[in-house]
Structure formats: structure tokens, C-alpha cells
Amino acid sequence: MSKGQLLLEIRNLEVSFDGFKANSEVDLDVLEGELRFLIGPNGAGKTTLIDAITGLVKPSKGTITFANKDLLQRREFEIVRLGVGRTFQKANVFEELTVIENLDLAASFRLTLPKLFRRRKTVMPEVLEALDVVGLPDYGDRPAGVLSHGQKQWLEIGMLLVQDPMLLLLDEPVAGMSKAERTKTGELLQFIAQTKTLMVIEHDMDFVRRFSKKVTVLCEGQILCEGPIEQVQANPMVQEVYLGRAHDRRSQEEVKA
């Protein structure tokens, strides 16, 4: 697919849990090469939306089309093989394995069984490339357990990159990071977006303002609005969601600063 073409198309999506609609009437288009941010209050349905895209939950209604393929009839591993990768709010790495071993294990899912069981004497080029891209070339032989919180997040992003996805779905990648780590992560996402498509759930509004081009706002399971961050911040409905119900000066500063 060419950059700018429609990659992910969601129409009239509904996800319910015991009668509660976590997502309702969601229509969303994500283009090839976008770095899209998904924001909204806690409980807005952001993670549930990603769960639906990746097959972790089954929608009760609607369609999800990725690269012209229907995702709703596919299992989680099939969606991964189509080119959709995701991270979770807590980094999911094997701490007892080295950084290179984590990357190598992630890369192995595309290998045939004979190649999988054949002991490799060299590190795959895509592993070394990912190690460099995520800024961990000096940590390759170290156990992942010694990495900082931010470095583990970068490693997990690297574990996605070696799988060569077209779409990366990241759930709060800068949560708990230092200011320097957040800046490095933003720059990493912008670099990845030169060749991949990303959709990022994020609560850090300073981070969103600095690195976003297009933002989608969810509230109570529905899309409230979307557009450039300046346009979104000026939207009265968004201000009501973030400010009007809280009556809290700190919340005002988070959205308007």
C-alpha cells in the first residue's frame, strides 16, 4: 500500500460487556503512514478499541477492515500475521533473556519450523537493526530485567519492529517515563512513522501536543471529535469532557497549557 491510502477502516463498531457498551457507533479511518493519537478520559473505551482491532475481544456489531481484509473473523495470531502489532500498558518482555534474545524470539514467529528449530549461529539482520532503532545497541547481551522502565518499553517496540508490522498499536508508551525518556520515545515514534503506521493511546497531553499531527478523542465509548491537536483543544465538547466535569484547576492546565 502507498502512503496516504486507507489502511484501517472501522465502521459502526460496538463492543459490549454484560450490557455495558464500551464502544458504540465507532467510525474510524487511519491512513498509511499516520502517527495517530487516541486520547480521552479513563474509561472512554480506548484500550477496548485496540482489543477489538487485535481480536482480544469480539465486537457485537460493526466491521473492522485492515489492508482490505476483514479482521473480525480472524484469530489473534492471524491478525498479527496480517501485519498488526501492539504493546500493552505494562511492557511484556522476558526479563531473564537478553535483549537480543527477546528480539530474536519475537522475530522467530515468521520462521518455518525447520528454521525455527535450527540453531542460528548469527543474529538476524532485522534484530540488529531494531536494536539500533530503539536505542539499545549497548544492551544487546544484557538481561532485559536490568533495563529501566523506559528501556523495556523501547525493547517491546523493537520486538514489534522485528515482526515487520504495517500497523503498530501502542497503549500508553510513555507512562511512568522520565522527561528525557518521553522525548526520546516521541522522536522514536516519529522515526518509525516514516515507514510504518502508528495509533497511540496516550494520557500525557504535553507529549501529545509535542508529537501529534492528528488526534482522535473518545468519550463514553464514542468518538467525540478528531483533527489537529490545536483544533481538538479548542473544541467546546472536548473542553467539557476534560474540564467541565472535574472543576479542577490542575485538569485545566493539563488540557490548555
Per-residue pLDDT of 70-87, as tens digits, reads 999 899 999 999 999 999
- Give me the sign of the Cα torsion angle 70, 38, 3, 136: negative
Across 175-186, average pLDDT: 95
Domain boundaries, the chain: 6-37+45-213
Q: Which grid cell is 144?
A: 532485559
In percent, the amount of the chain with pLDDT more than 70 equals 89
Assigned CATH for 6-37+45-213: 3.40.50.300
The H or E element that residue 200 is part of is strand 197-201
At 90 the pLDDT is: 80
Mapped onto helix, strand or coil, the DSSP state of residue 22 is strand
CA–CA separation, 46 vs 39, rounded Å? 7
pLDDT reported for residue 241? 81
pLDDT of residue 111: 58
Q: Is the pLDDT of residue 246 over 50?
A: no
Structural contact between residues 70 and 82, judged by C-beta atoms closer than 8 angstroms: no
For 21-57, b/e burial (b = at least 16 CB within 10 A) is bbbbebebebebbbbbbbbbbeebbbbbbbbbbbbeb
CA angle 74, 90, 65 (to 5 degrees): 25
In terms of phi and psi (left: phi > 0; alpha: psi -120 to 50; beta: otherwise), the region of 105 is alpha
Q: Are 4 and 201 in contact, with CB atoms under 8 Å apart?
A: no
How many C-beta atoms surround the C-beta of residue 125 within 10 A?
10
pLDDT value of position 253: 45
Residue 121 pLDDT:
65
Per-residue pLDDT reduced to its tens digit, 118-132: 555 678 899 999 999
User: Can you give the pLDDT at residue 40?
Assistant: 92
Question: For residue range 128-175, what is the model confidence (pLDDT) as tens digits?
Answer: 999 999 999 999 999 999 999 999 999 999 999 999 999 999 999 999
Give 89-118 pLDDT, tens digit per residue.
Answer: 787 899 999 999 999 999 887 655 455 545
Q: What is the pLDDT of residue 124?
A: 86
